[in-house]
Structure 1
Amino acid sequence: MRLDKYLCDMGAGTHSQVKQKIRKGLITVEGETVLRPEYQVEPEQKVCVEGEPFTYTEMEYYMLNKPAGCVSARTDEHCRTVLELLPKKKRKDLFPVGRLDKDTEGLLLITNDGKLAHLLLSPKRHVDKTYEARIQGQVTREHVKAFQEGLDIGEERLTLSAVLEILNSGEISQVRVTIQEGKFHQIKRMFQAVGCEVLYLKRLSMGSLTLDESLKPGEYRFLTEAELAKLKLEVGVEG
């Protein structure tokens, strides 16, 4: 691929910044200075920017324990984004797979694998997403039944059948919810539909991918090869 594209993909700067670095003689390939942005480079070759080595990575997969207070977006003018929590990332084209509300915590997959993301989010795939929630109001078996049958949250259709597990019922209830959709504020709207309010929400899993509880809010790590392989197998992605 072109040297300037290689460097842009790896976050060495904007396209104009990268070109300027190349023309200033700040880039070497296999120890030789290269002055042409269009120079063809192979991913396995050793590329350095001002003496700092860059290793090309085509795809990156991160598990983030999203903290409350940041938004699930690539950029935002007013709030900190989840991508700002990944200082060691290489790719500049990463994005969060699905959105968690600003005040929602928990599992968030961040990658640049568009195909995998599309399949995980596709309504046709019915990928389970499990959340832990603290609810204002007593959650009962009637609520469990209503979640199973589908709720009117102001959309054209009722929500798909969801599993509501009561962990503790009282003035403040503790529950676990599994849904197969990802509508805007869906869980909050589902509880509103039965006269309750979500006080706290945390995503625990998405398909076979489960939040590593050793990750504190704001911490992240690479997906393991086993986690990635299982996730791809689940949605039918080869390789």
Structure 2
Amino acid sequence: MRLDKYLCDMQMGTRSELKKIIRSGRVTVNQEHVKDSGTNVTETDLIEFDGKPVRYEKNMTYLFHKPGDCVTAKKDSMHKTVMDYFPPELQILNPVGRLDFDTEGLLFLTTDGELLHHLISPSHRVEKTYYAILDAAVPLEAVSAFAGGIDIGDDTPTLPARLEIVSDSKPYAANLTICEGRFHQVKRMFAAIGCNVTYLKRIREGAFTLEQLKRGEYRKLTEEEIALLKAKSYEKN
């Protein structure tokens, strides 16, 4: 591939920026200065940027704090999308699953098709925890009802879920952990017990939380974190 594309894929800058950087002599290929951005390179070449190696990664995965003002899609003719928060060089990412327009919280984006499939596959039952603010108090019996699976109008009841009552006074709040991804599932589960969701945030998926990420912020996962994510995702409960 072209040298500028190699560096762009590794988020070292935009293609136009990198052409100037390469011409300035800040990039070496196999310890030789190269000033032609169209130079062909491979993943086995030693590419250095300002003296630091830039190793080509076939796949990338990011953890993103989705705000409640965008749709989980690559493109949308009417609404802002999660991709509007990412620079041009990261538009190759794909959202893993979806969060509703008004739902905020943890969302993975990746270029790894195999990882994406395993994270959204119902058979792998990756746990996701949501924090919900409700318009009514959660009945105590809902904890055991959710643990056994409830009817939300689908052909089959939900899989067992863990419900934790966070506040039994205004503002009423609860944490719900599920391992499915049915349409509007969390909102429908609470509606089934007489509670309407007024605010919803995904706070955990698998072993990952939002940490200190603010709305609209993201970070790249390390190789070790991706390995952990894959290991947990591939386990069947």
- Stretches of structure 1 lacking an aligned partner (at least 5 in a row): 14-20, 22-27, 49-53
Identity of aligned residues (%): 42
In the alignment, what sits opposite 1:229?
A: 227
In the alignment, what sits opposite 1:215?
A: 213
In the alignment, what sits opposite 1:150?
A: 149
TM-score (norm 1): 0.78
Structure 1 stretch displaced more, 117-126 or 222-231:
222-231
**Do residues 58 (structure 1) and 58 (structure 2) align?**
yes
> For 2:106, what is the secondary structure of its paired residue?
strand
In the alignment, what sits opposite 1:124?
A: 123
In the alignment, what sits opposite 2:106?
A: 107
Taking a change above 3 Å as real, the CA distance of residues 180 and 217 of structure 1, as seen in their structure-2 partners, is same
Deviations 1:165-195 (A, max 9, x none): 0011135411000000011111001111111
The alpha-carbon deviation at position 225 of structure 1 amounts to 3.6
In the alignment, what sits opposite 2:138?
A: 139
Taking a change above 3 Å as real, the CA distance of residues 204 and 34 of structure 1, as seen in their structure-2 partners, is closer
The alpha-carbon deviation at position 4 of structure 1 amounts to 10
In the alignment, what sits opposite 2:24?
A: none
Taking a change above 3 Å as real, the CA distance of residues 203 and 217 of structure 1, as seen in their structure-2 partners, is same
> For 1:90, what is the secondary structure of its paired residue?
helix
Deviations 1:98-128 (A, max 9, x none): 1011111111111111111111111111111
> For 1:131, what is the secondary structure of its paired residue?
strand
In the alignment, what sits opposite 1:94?
A: 93
In the alignment, what sits opposite 2:23?
A: none
Deviations 1:78-98 (A, max 9, x none): 1111122122x6344211111
Supply the AA of the counterpart residue of 1:188: K
Aligned residues: 215
In the alignment, what sits opposite 2:194?
A: 195
Deviations 1:206-232 (A, max 9, x none): 1112221x1111111112343222112
**Separation of aligned partners in 2, 1:167 and 1:119:** 31
**Separation of aligned partners in 2, 1:142 and 1:84:** 42
> For 1:75, what is the secondary structure of its paired residue?
coil
The alpha-carbon deviation at position 57 of structure 1 amounts to 3.9
Supply the AA of the counterpart residue of 2:222: T
> For 1:139, what is the secondary structure of its paired residue?
coil
**Do residues 72 (structure 1) and 107 (structure 2) align?**
no
Contact conserved, 1:57 with 1:90, CA < 8 A, in 2? no
Deviations 1:127-154 (A, max 9, x none): 1101111111110211112211212222
